[in-house]
Chain A
Amino acid sequence: MLQLNRYLKGYVKIRVSGPAIQRFMNLCSVRGIALTSVQIHDGFALMEMNLRDFWNIKPIVRKTKMKVVLLERKGLPFSVKKWRKRKGFMAGVLLCGMLLYVLSLFVWDIELSPEGRLTREMLLSFLQDEGIGYGSYLGSIDIEAIEKKLRDEYPYIVWTSLRIEGTKLTVFVKENAQYQVTGKTVNHDPCDLYATVHGTVSSIVTRNGIPQVTSGQEVQRGDKLVSGQIPIMNDDDTVRQYLYTHADADIVVDTVFSYEKELPLVHEEKIYTGKQKIVFYAKLYRNSFSLGHMKGMEQYDIVTDLKQAKLFEDFYLPLYYGKITFNEYKLQKYTYTKEQARQILQKDFEGFCESLTQKGIQIIAKDVTIKDNKKSEKIKAALTVRVRDGEEKAINKVPEE
């Protein structure tokens, strides 16, 4: 930093000779003149000082009867003088400076930290709807308004933070883990609850509305489980009027999921030949360029490795560079043994069961059969699962007489 300051202000290298070099240096120090790179030889000394200080050493030189010779002039003020002759170069520097300034006014990188339910795609599409994207003008982004809108749009978000650092927009969100997915806390319009699966009601706890089914009862898809229409009866058991409420209940239904997968024994596998081709690639805003082309490979995998150019920590530029690697492969036919095919099918089935468990679906019973065909193996399974059910549907109100 000190060096940069010196360079910007300009400095000179001088040769001081005479009877009192030490006195000269001490007087300079007393008058606040900083000396650098002092080298003392027999009878003379070489040193550097700021350009402005150089104009102030005259009294000291006179007082100490020293002889000062200017050896070199360094720094920006002198360089500019030289550059004045090189107009093209100066124009280039100016243009570059202007370009950097213009680029610093737009968003060139968006970092998102989505959580749980709010995915990266949802956040990006939200930002897009708000007119924020790659290349948006930074001055037009109203951070507070967007934060508020984001919280309003996704009620399960409890905290949002939009930050602009350099040309990078960072979006942080924090979700409320306790929030009910169904949005029951937001929507209070009158509705009924309907079954979405075929099965047996395992349990029903009604908070709002009149239950239409009981525990142990079989239901079909589309059956009404809880009614949000509450009749008010007259003394003679006729309906006086209907009150409408937002039906709310915890309904657990036991249902059967079927799973089926067939695996042909003869299959094709990629065999990498080891032949590789690397092509350098650059992308400027929306235009892409590549150095080199793909020839001589019929089937290949593409691995793209891109980096975004940046000047400083957060000054991202609309320039991506990197390489594309083409890995050649050939398809070869292989045949699984019956045992291998069974293992693969079994593994896939276990993966499917795990994905159900992760979704909060409880598996009660599994009925799995593996069928042996001539050219393939087939797995068939009936999974008895316990799911939460109850789809909200708006009520068509009965007109009052």
Chain B
Amino acid sequence: MKTKKLINQTKQHVADALKLPGDLARGEALLAVTGQQEAYIENYKGILECSESQVVIATGRCKLCFQGKKLHIAYYTDEEMKIEGLIQTISFI
């Protein structure tokens, strides 16, 4: 456990020293939101839940939850996805 923590800390230090972006260094998800209608997500693991009112996406560290009305996925590939609809809340759970 301690070793894993140490590795993570070292990784963090190296990434900070090299000024690497978070998505590359830590595998964080990238999220771009255009107004209330569109959201682009990259670096995710998969969809956990999907309905017209809620879309939950698994990312490297946490889950990303979109809540709103008439949500649908415009496209879904292994690299990026786009969610369309009326987005009301975005939360990290």
Residues of chain A having any CB pair with chain B under 8 Å: 21-22, 25-26, 28-30, 32, 34-42, 45
Let me know if B74 and A41 touch, CB within 8 A. Answer: no
Interface string of B45-66 (1 = CB under 8 A from A): 0111111100000000000000
Contacts of A35 in B (CB 8 A): 73, 75-77
Let me know if A40 and B78 touch, CB within 8 A. Answer: no
Contacts of B46 in A (CB 8 A): 22, 25-26, 29-30
Let me know if B52 and A40 touch, CB within 8 A. Answer: yes
Contacts of A21 in B (CB 8 A): 50
Let me know if A34 and B77 touch, CB within 8 A. Answer: yes
Q: State which of B49, B51, B76 has its C-beta within 8 Å of the C-beta of A34.
A: B76
Main secondary structure of the interface of A (DSSP, over half): mixed
Contacts of B75 in A (CB 8 A): 34-38
Let me know if A22 and B78 touch, CB within 8 A. Answer: no
CA of A25 to CA of B49 in the docked complex: distance in angstroms? 11
Q: A21-B50, A26-B46 are in contact. Are A38 and B72 (CB under 8 A)?
A: yes
Beyond known contacts A37-B74, A38-B72: 9 more, CB 8 A cutoff = A22-B46, A25-B46, A32-B78, A34-B76, A34-B77, A35-B77, A38-B73, A38-B76, A40-B51
Considering only CB atoms, which chain A residue lies closest to B73 in the complex?
A: A38
Number of residues on chain B facing chain A (CB within 8 A): 14
Q: A29-B78, A30-B78 are in contact. Are A22 and B73 (CB under 8 A)?
A: no
Query: B80: shortest Cβ distance to chain A, in Å?
Result: 10
CA of A41 to CA of B48 in the docked complex: distance in angstroms? 15
Contacts of B72 in A (CB 8 A): 37-40
The contact sample of 19 A-B pairs, CB cut-off 8 A, is: A22-B46, A22-B48, A22-B49, A25-B46, A26-B46, A26-B47, A28-B76, A29-B78, A30-B78, A32-B77, A35-B77, A38-B50, A38-B73, A38-B75, A40-B50, A40-B52, A40-B72, A42-B51, A45-B50
Contacts of B73 in A (CB 8 A): 35, 37-38, 40
CA of A168 to CA of B50 in the docked complex: distance in angstroms? 54
Considering only CB atoms, which chain A residue lies closest to B44 in the complex?
A: A29
CA of A28 to CA of B73 in the docked complex: distance in angstroms? 14
Query: A1: shortest Cβ distance to chain B, in Å?
Result: 14
Query: A20: shortest Cβ distance to chain B, in Å?
Result: 11
Contacts of A28 in B (CB 8 A): 76
CA of A35 to CA of B78 in the docked complex: distance in angstroms? 10
Contacts of A39 in B (CB 8 A): 52, 72
CA of A93 to CA of B50 in the docked complex: distance in angstroms? 44
Considering only CB atoms, which chain A residue lies closest to B75 in the complex?
A: A36
Interface string of B19-60 (1 = CB under 8 A from A): 000000000000000000000000000111111100000000
Contacts of B51 in A (CB 8 A): 40, 42
Let me know if B77 and A29 touch, CB within 8 A. Answer: yes
CA of A37 to CA of B75 in the docked complex: distance in angstroms? 6
Contacts of A40 in B (CB 8 A): 50-52, 72-73
Contacts of B76 in A (CB 8 A): 25, 28-29, 34-36, 38
